[in-house]
Amino acid sequence: MNNAIILAARVLLAQIFLISGFGKLGAGYAGTQAYMEAMGIPGMLLPLVIALEIGGGLALIAGFLTRWAALALAGFVVVSAVFFHANFGDQTQAIMFMKNLAMAGGLLLLYVHGAGSYSLDARRG
């Protein structure tokens, strides 16, 4: 039962990264790049963000290099929280900041405990 729950946790954590990454590929690319630049982040980093979101999300779902994908995504969401959601005077931004920290917590648990039996990591030994 625990391995099924770990699989569900991986899928639930991954979905936000996949949706976000694929959303940036289409019509959202230019707007996201402009928003990054307005916040002082070089827009040329956007392809790396997309690759991390999509690649990391797929890695979590498949349970492939799960610990490293989870650690990278945890770092990403903490950095994103600091740069994009630290306006605590805006309740929405404060909630987004806390959401990112909660996601980092779940990802760090995956880093510590691994992907479980229902994963490519388990098949690789």
Per domain, the residue ranges of the chain are: 2-124
Residue type, 46: L
Find how far residue 107's CA is from the centre of its chain.
8
The low-confidence residues of the chain, meaning pLDDT below 50, are none
In this prediction the pTM is 0.94
Which pair of tokens denotes residue 52?
A: 């991390």
pLDDT of residue 125: 78
Report the distance separating Cα 44 and Cα 85, nearest Å. 20
pLDDT of residue 27: 84
Which pair of tokens denotes residue 91?
A: 């309740």
pLDDT of residue 29: 96
* DSSP letter for each residue of 59-84: HHHHTSSHHHHHHHHHHHHHHHHHHH
pLDDT of residue 26: 85
